[in-house]
Chain A
Amino acid sequence: MSVLRFGYVTGPLLGALWMVVLSVTVAIAMSFATGDPVRPNMSVSLLWGAVVGYLASQRLGGTPGRAIAAGALILLTLFEVGPLDFGPAASIWTRASAAAILAIAFVWSLYTILDDVAKGPLTRHEFEGAVIRFLTGFGYIFFTAIVLIPFYVMVMTSLKNQSELIQNPLDFSVDLSRGTELFRSYNELFTQFNFGTYLFNSFFISVLTVFITLAFAIPGAYAVARLRFRGQTAFSRSILLIYMVPMIVLALPIYIAFSMTGLRNSFWGIVMIYPVTTIPVALYMLQGYFRGLPAEIEEAGLMDGLSRLAVIWKITLPLSLPALASVSLYVFMIAWNEFLLAFMLLDDPSKFTLTRGIASLNSSEIPRQHLMAGSVIATVPIMAIFLGLERFMTKGLTAGSVKG
């Protein structure tokens, strides 16, 4: 490692690697945005990255130096000896913007990465600082890309039509002149495929699940957290164990029982089953929160003559409203996203939930953009709730989501 700890080694090395990262990123981003053929040239990227890295580590030129380096990179790219290669079909706009974005982003970010790298020997601090800044930059790009690309593909595919998709799978640019035609898939889903009903079903079932879950979990969690009784430890452990039983193991007998009693294909069958899958989670989350509440307030209430139940209703619950919000959101999310039980227990299209409805779109006769539009319809509400109430949601997730 000590061989690397010289400014004139670290600089070119990080520069070369950083150029590879950025040229791949820009190439993918430009391809996805315009559909034009852009690809990174690895060996050339390494070369020019190392050159700029050397300049940066030697503190050559200051700000004008950066501008010159960036300008040179743009020209090199446009004359096809730079880090990016373009296919003949690439438009001049694609070439110019890709070259400019890459050059400017690269030069400025690299100078930041190599900020306190000295010309000669480096201390361990300086060297590791530079490596960490490089890894941080890489991390942001990497995570943002892997999270966004599937959702980007989902949304854009839903706005296109079959022939466009086959012709160039990379072209996600949207022709705005088509106007409302863009949303044709959504329109068809709502008018011909009953997605309005599914949306309502999903919403109704999820809300009902939340209420039933809370009705069972609040008393249970309170008992486990506050009251002393024999078997308390065993009980709180078995909550966690029940959590561990896989749904598919339970789904089989439930399917048999529902088939024999005629509860399959019924709303109430689903509403009966969903809360039981969420009660252990909710109970586990809530008892953790109840334990954290100061017992003295409740004892004061007891001294003043309230009964236990009145204490729960008038003191504990108002104090735990944030926790109740988190639990409700989390339970809502589980019920909204639930797929396995809906898939096994519902066959009648008039009673489908959204997830079951999307599963029914997965056939070769239905175009792919419908499938993706359905996915968007299912994803958008939960995302909106999530982003709006992110604070509660995050807390809820950390408190209870040992569950997958």
Chain B
Amino acid sequence: MADATPPLGTGPLAKREARLAWGLLTPTIAAVALVVILPLLAIFWISVKPVSLADLRAPEVVLREDLRGSPEAAGDEATLRYRLRNSSQEQPILGVRFDDLVPDGLEIVDLDARCSLQDQALSCDLGDWEAGYRETLTIPVIVTQAYLDNAIRPQDSPPRVEGRSSSVLTDGTFTLNNFARIFQADEFLEVLWVTLFYTVFGTIGALLVGLFAALLLNKAFRGQGILRGLYLFPYVAPVIAVAFAWLILFDPFSGSANALLVQMGVTREAINFFGERPLALIMVTVFEIWRYFPLSFLFILARMQSIDGDMYEAADMDGASPFQQFWYLSLPQLLGILSVLFLLRFIWTFNKFDDIFLLTGGNAGTRTLTVSVYEQAFAISNIGAGAAVAVVIFGCLLTFSIFFLKYISREEGL
């Protein structure tokens, strides 16, 4: 009898399973590659290109045709006119040509040297054009009865226009100016500092406030469910709605918060919460804490409710006071979820764009890296510089992710 040996390598069943797995994953991988991986590569490409917002519209040949000279009877003379121009003021177009169908009943008297006519098909080769080039082509024609009888007019047959132009996005010009610009700008260090402040304090604040809220609700009482739902409101509501509510609440001229503070005697003059330098940064951080404490609250509460109650009874018997129980029993148990939350929230706060963009637009010393991407790309119309900032962000994230994978994969068991 042969020895029973375990099979080596992958058997047919395992192979089939792996094939099915890849089959199930393909749509997701394809979609993610298209919308995540490809744009990421594009960001690196764009960051070394001198691209501005205007370059996104490729130069093209604009053509208009009409018939001049309002002919009324057969035999009248008229002019078929083509007006053409290069839409770009900066870029040339090479090899411009167009084809058009001349309507029945127009007899062409004289043809431009660059054009040729076959039956009724007119085609013209206009060569290379400078930026902003204009040209008007006039072709004298004689109108016959056929033209007057049928209703087809020159503009009814759309001409086919050709022309090559090079786009900055695809040609071979590269530059490091984008990076030089963002690194040399005086505000770059400030942007980094603001990002760090916002991220660190926003994350820690949300964790601490969330921990406090979780401690409050970690006991059964009537209305606990309602309060838990209520405390999630800031996170569930659309960011644009709550951001504008905050703006109106803290408006320097007619905001309720200012009216309240004046009435309470805390301040004499209205405070411009989102418009003054150190205050605006603190306010957007407070907003971040307000909006995301529900998340840490939910996670911490879930973990707390899974801690065994016996331990606390034992501690009670041994005479541990409530604060001691929290410090020596609860906190060590919560440390795992707290560190996971810290890492995840740290990265997400770092990535946050909408909140600051809606509250201050990055003004008054609140410009973080993400807001600066938008600022460079759309406000200053320098897409290349925006992409360069995005590359910097991506670099930071790569560093975080290495940390993240080291810790999270241990905690989450991935």
Q: Which residues of A contact B (CB under 8 A)?
A: 27-28, 31-32, 37-40, 87, 124-125, 128-129, 132, 136, 139-140, 143-144, 146-151, 153-154, 157, 165-166, 168-170, 172, 215-217, 219-220, 222-224, 227-230, 232-233, 235-237, 240-242, 244-250, 252-254, 256-257, 259-260, 272-273, 275-277, 279-280, 283, 308, 333, 336-337, 339-340, 354-355, 358-359, 362, 368, 371-372, 374-376, 378-379, 382-383, 386-387, 390, 393-394, 397-398, 401-404
Determine if B414 and A362 form an interchain contact, defined as CB atoms under 8 angstroms apart. Answer: no
Given contacts A383-B233, A386-B229, A397-B232, are A378 and B240 in contact (CB under 8 A)? Answer: yes
* Interface pair A216/B28, CB less than 8 Å apart: yes
The CA-CA distance from A166 to B256 in the complex, in Å, is 10
Contact yes or no, A154 B245, CB < 8 A? yes
The residues of B that contact A157 with a CB separation of less than 8 Å are: 248
Q: Can you name 16 extra interface pairs (CB under 8 A) apart from A252-B377, A394-B228?
A: A39-B265, A125-B322, A147-B234, A151-B245, A220-B27, A244-B404, A246-B393, A248-B370, A249-B373, A249-B390, A253-B43, A259-B57, A280-B32, A359-B240, A378-B238, A404-B349
Q: In whole angstroms, what is the CA distance A202 to B31 when docked? A: 22
Contact of A165 among B254, B265, B344 (CB under 8 A): B254
In the bound complex, residues from chain A placing their C-beta under 8 Å from that of B38 are 253
Q: Does B383 contact A (CB under 8 A)?
A: yes
- Contact residue among A172, A223, A237 (Cβ-Cβ distance under 8 Å from B405): A237
Nearest-Cβ distance from residue A395 to partner chain B, whole angstroms: 9
Is A169's CB under 8 angstroms from B255's CB?
Answer: yes
Once A132-B322, A252-B386, A359-B240 are accepted as A-B contacts, the answer to whether A153 and B298 lie under 8 Å apart by CB is: no
B46 — which chain A residues lie within 8 A by C-beta? 252-253, 256
What chain A residues lie within 8 Å of B387 (beta carbons)?
252-253
In-complex Cβ contact of A240 among B35, B249, B345, B408 (8 A):
B408
Contacting pair B236 A276 (CB below 8 A) = no
Residues of B with C-beta under 8 A to A129: 322
Most chain A CB within 10 A, of B253, B345, B354, is at B354
Residues of chain A within 8 A (CB-CB) of B244 are 154, 358, 362, 371-372, 375
Q: Are A372 and B245 in contact (CB under 8 A)?
A: yes
State which of A170, A259, A398 has its C-beta within 8 Å of the C-beta of B56.
Answer: A259
In the complex the two chains form, what is the Cα distance from A240 to B405 in whole Å? 9
Interface string of B385-398 (1 = CB under 8 A from A): 01100100110010
> Interface-forming stretch among B18-26, B87-95, B100-108, B140-148?
B18-26
> Which chain A residue shows the least CB distance to B355?
A404
Contact call B236/A404, Cβ cutoff below 8 A = no
Within 8 A of A (CB), among B88-146: none
Q: List 21 A-B residue pairs with CB atoms under 8 Å apart, sorted by A's residue number.
A: A27-B264, A38-B263, A125-B322, A128-B321, A139-B212, A140-B216, A147-B231, A169-B256, A217-B28, A223-B20, A227-B24, A244-B404, A248-B353, A250-B39, A253-B42, A254-B35, A257-B42, A272-B35, A273-B35, A283-B28, A402-B348
| B290 at the A interface (CB under 8 A) | yes
Are A390 and B225 within 8 A (Cβ)?
Answer: yes
B329 an interface residue at 8 Å Cβ cutoff? no
User: Given A143-B216, A244-B347, A256-B46, A219 and B24 touching (CB < 8 A)?
Assistant: yes
How far apart are the CA atoms of A379 and B232 in the complex, in Å?
13
Contact A246 B295 (CB under 8 A): no
Task: Specify which chain A residues have a CB less than 8 angstroms from the CB of B21 in the assembled complex.
Answer: 223, 227-229, 232
Asked if A246 meets B28 with Cβ closer than 8 Å, knowing A39-B263, A256-B169, A397-B295, the reply is no
Are B18 and A230 in contact, CB atoms less than 8 angstroms apart? Answer: yes
In the complex, the chain A residue whose C-beta lies closest to that of B169 is A256
Chain B interface size, as a band, is: 35 or more
The residue in chain B whose Cβ has the minimal distance to the Cβ of A222 is: B24
A208 to B: closest C-beta gap in Å: 15
Q: CB-CB < 8 A to A150: which residues of B?
A: 234, 242, 245-246, 249
- Bound complex: CA of A244 vs CA of B348, how far in Å? 7
Shortest Cβ distance from residue A116 to the other chain B in the assembled complex, whole angstroms: 13
B residues with CB within 8 A of A: 14, 17-18, 20-22, 24-25, 27-28, 31-32, 34-36, 38-40, 42-43, 46, 56-58, 169, 212-213, 215-216, 225, 227-242, 244-246, 248-249, 251, 253-256, 258-260, 263-265, 290, 292, 295, 298-299, 302, 321-323, 344-345, 347-354, 357-358, 370, 373-374, 377, 383, 386-387, 390, 393-394, 397, 400-401, 404-405, 408-409, 414
Give the shortest distance, in Å, between A235 (CB) and chain B (any CB).
Answer: 7
The residue in B18, B244, B246, B349 that gathers the most chain A C-beta atoms within 10 A of its C-beta is B244
The contact of B28 among A148, A220, A228, A362, by CB within 8 Å, is A220
Q: Which residues does chain A contribute within 8 Å of B245, judged by CB atoms? A: 150-151, 153-154, 372, 375
Q: Decide if the interface of chain B is mainly helix, strand, loop or mixed.
A: helix
What 4 A-B pairs have minimum CB-CB distances, sorted nearest first?
Answer: A246-B351, A375-B241, A253-B39, A219-B24
Residues of A within 8 A of B242 (CB): 150, 154, 375, 379
Query: B236–A333 contact, CB under 8 A?
Result: yes
Please give, as numbers and ranges, the residues of chain B lying within 8 Å of A38 by CB-CB distance: 263
Q: How far is the CA of A355 from the CA of B276 in the complex (A)?
A: 27
A148 CA to B231 CA, complexed, in Å: 9
Instruction: Give chain B nearest CB distance to A199 CB in angstroms.
Output: 13
A383 to B401, CA, bound (A): 34
A-side interface mostly: helix
Q: How far apart sit A74 and B246, CA to CA, in the bound complex (Å)?
A: 35
Q: How far is the CA of A153 from the CA of B260 in the complex (A)?
A: 13
Bound-state CA distance A394–B231 (Å) is 11
CB distance from B338 to the nearest CB of A (A): 14
Selected from A170, A246, A337, A354, the residue in CB contact (under 8 A) with B259 is A170
Q: How far is the CB of B196 from chain A (nearest CB, A)?
A: 16
Q: Are B28 and A355 in contact (CB under 8 A)?
A: no
Contacting B238 at CB < 8 Å: which of A215, A235, A337, A404? A337
A139 adjacent to B213 (CB under 8 Å): yes
Contact of A382 with B344 in the complex, beta carbons under 8 Å: no
Residues in B neighbouring A337, C-beta threshold 8 A: 237-240
Question: Is B238's CB under 8 angstroms from A276's CB?
Answer: no
Residue of B240, B347, B390 near A355 (CB, 8 A) is: B240
Known: A229-B17, A242-B36. A219 touches B394 (CB 8 A): no
**Once bound together, how far apart are the Cα atoms of A247 and B370, in whole Å?**
9
Complex Cα gap A151–B244 (Å): 11
A252 touches B25 (CB 8 A): no
List residues of chain A with CB within 8 A of the CB of B25: 219-220, 223-224, 235
CB distance from A87 to the nearest CB of B (A): 8
Which residues of B have CB within 8 Å of A144?
Answer: 227, 230
Residues of B within 8 A of A140 (CB): 216, 227
Nearest CB on A from B93, distance (A): 17
CA distance in complex: A146, B227 (Å): 13
Q: Which residue of B lies closest to A28 (CB)?
A: B260
User: What separation, in Å, do the CA atoms of A245 and B351 have in the docked complex?
Assistant: 8
Q: Which of A37, A139, A216, A333 has a CB less than 8 Å from the CB of B31?
A: A216
When chains A and B are docked, how far (Å) is the Cα of A375 from the Cα of B322? Answer: 43
B35 pairs with A250, CB closer than 8 A: yes
Q: Which residue of A lies closest to B266 (CB)?
A: A39
Q: Which residue, of B18, B235, B263, has the highest number of chain A Cβ atoms within 10 A? A: B263
Cα distance A241–B46 in the bound complex, in angstroms: 22
A392 to B43, CA, bound (A): 38
Most A CB within 10 A of own CB, among B21, B31, B322 = B21
